[in-house]
Amino acid sequence: MSDAYAQPTTEADRAIPGPLAGYTTLRMGGPAGRIVASTSADEIIRAVQTTDGPILILAGGSNVVIGDTGFPGTVVLVRSRGLRIVSEDAGSVTVRVEAGEPWDDLVAATIGNGWAGLECLSGIPGSTGATPIQNVGAYGQEVAETITGVEVYDRLDGTRRIIPAAECGFAYRGSIFKYQDRWVVLSVDFRLTRSPLSGPVRYAELARALGVEVGERVPLADARAAVLRLRAGKGMVLDAADPDTRSVGSFFTNPVLDRATYELLRERSADLGEPPAWPGADGLVKVSAAWLIDKAGFAKGHPGPDGVAISSKHTLALTNRSGTASTSDLLTLASTIRDTVHARLGVTLHPEPVLINCVL
């Protein structure tokens, strides 16, 4: 297996300078002890089996914050590619997608083939293998709705198997794979609908952009185009010329509150307007983190220390605007936002990305 630290093994890697900072969308993170690139599931397993010491599995680097001291062990870059049909019938198709397949390439391919189910997840950076880890979702869709199974290497017992979706523990931005390293994702199976039309449009902002009512369906390509426009307007589509896209997307998850906590929030924010909220099961209420941040006094573009800032387009994105800021600078801004929101509104924000060798 080639050592990708001194000389990365793919064209994409060669185009990115620096150590671990070059493998993340934030462009932050110190050096690794060693970096290797694995281009197949077998290579990924072999890298894990033959490496002593700590291992970090890293693919698109779009949902990870790496500390300034880097990672002292081996970083395995997931560079496996490809998808294939594993089953199909008149109304649906199940595709198996390698963990390193770029996510938006997959979404574009499904739309091109007339397969519905992922169209509202267009433009999200990162790899396919990362999507079940945090149950990626946007504009009314989540990958948990179409995933039928996740192929993993189990580091505990040394086996390779498929975990059915029902055993993945999918929840809002979470799964059994998040915050632990037992399972290494090798591929993901998605069951998609054969249809030229999207699923029912569930998200009001997207419905407005499409000029339809919530619940209506639109051509797949139209849904993708509208989502890409919306995301680009928020700095959520990677663009080397746009410093707002040097981020991990939404830095904080939308808090999910019990009814009593939500009512307390309404009381504390009575002079600020009604908190945008979405009711869930068992009386739980999901509240807009962007609204909380804004009402706590942090507007779009709010500067942090030494080149970090809230995105000028989206309150939830924290950006490496200068391109040279440190992880500690970013976390200083994040902790200031979190602590101020809690002090003023009584709600605790939690980070969405995985933190490596750093603490918020």
Q: Which three-class secondary structure state does DSSP give residue 263?
A: helix
Structural contact between residues 19 and 89, judged by C-beta atoms closer than 8 angstroms = no
CA-to-CA dists, residue 147 to 96, 132, 196, 264, 275, angstroms: 10, 8, 20, 37, 32
C-alpha atoms less than 13 angstroms from C-alpha of 90 in its C-beta half-sphere: 0
Cα–Cα distance measured from residue 96 to residue 81, given in angstroms and rounded to the nearest whole number: 11
Nearest to 330 by CA among 305, 353, 301, 348: 305
For 285, phi and psi rounded to 5 degrees? Answer: -135, 125
Catalytic choice (101, 142, 151, 352): 352
Tokens linked to 185: 């994702």
**What kind and span of H or E run contains 38?**
strand 32-38
Concerning whether 250 is annotated as a catalytic residue, the answer is yes
Active site residue 127: no
- Residues 148/165, Cβ–Cβ less than 8 Å: yes
Which residues, 6+ apart, have CB-to-CB distance to 86 below 8 Å?
94, 95, 96, 189
Question: Active-site residue among 27, 79, 96, 173?
Answer: 173
Residue 198: active-site member:
no
Point out the catalytic residue in the list 80, 127, 198, 250.
250
In sequence order, what are the residues at sequence separation of 6 or more whose Cβ sits closer than 8 angstroms to the Cβ of residue 2?
9, 36, 37
Catalytic residue positions? 173, 250, 352
